[in-house]
Structure 1
Amino acid sequence: MDSGITVTGTGQTTAPADLLRLTLNVGHDAPDVAAAVRQVAERTDLVHAALRAQGVAADDIETSSVNVFPQYADGMSVAGYRASHSLTVTTRDLTGFGRLLNAAVDAAGNSLGLDQLQFDIADKQPLIEQARELAFRQASQKAAQLAELSGQSLGPIAAVAESYSHAPFQLQAAAGKASDAYASELSVTPGDQKIEVSLDVRWSWG
Structure 2
Amino acid sequence: MKFFPQAAIAVSLTLASVASWAATPDFPHLATTGYGEVVAKPDMAQFSVKVVESTMTAEQAKQSVDKSVTTFLQALQSEGVKSEQISSSNLYITPQYHYPKKGKPELVGYRASRSITVTVEQLSELNRYLDMALNSGINQVDNIQLKVKDQAVYQQQARLAAIKDANSKAESLADGFGMDVGGVWRIDYNMSGGQPVLMRTMAMDAKSESNSYQDSTIIIRDRVDVIYKLD
CA separation of 1:12/1:170 partners in 2, compared to 1, >3 Å: closer, same or farther? closer
Offset of residue 7 of structure 1: 0.8
Offset of residue 157 of structure 1: 0.9
Larger-gyration structure (1/2): 2
Offset of residue 168 of structure 1: 5.0
Q: Does 1:203 align with 2:228?
A: yes
What is the correspondence of 1:24-173 to structure 2 with a 5 Å cutoff?
24-64=49-89, 66-75=91-100, 76-108=105-137, 111-162=138-189, 163-164=191-192, 165-167=194-196, 169=198
Q: Root-mean-square deviation (CA), in Å? A: 2.4
Q: Which residue of 2 aligns with 1:6?
A: 31
Q: Which moved more, 1:17-26 or 1:93-102?
A: 93-102
Offset of residue 28 of structure 1: 1.4
Letter matched to residue 213 of structure 2: T
CA contact (8 A) 2:50 2:115 kept: yes
Offset of residue 146 of structure 1: 0.9
Identity of aligned residues (%): 25
Offset of residue 169 of structure 1: 3.4
Identify the structure with bigger relative contact order (alpha carbons < 8 Å, sequence gap 6+). 1
Q: Which runs of 5+ in 1 are unaligned?
A: 172-181
Partner deviation per Cα, 1:99-128 (whole Å, 9 max, x = no partner):
2222222222xx522222221123311111
Letter matched to residue 152 of structure 1: M
Normalised TM-score (structure 1) = 0.83
Q: Which runs of 5+ in 2 are unaligned?
A: 1-24, 201-205
Q: Does 1:189 align with 2:213?
A: yes
Q: May I ask how many residue pairs the two structures share in their alignment?
A: 193
CA contact (8 A) 2:120 2:126 kept: no
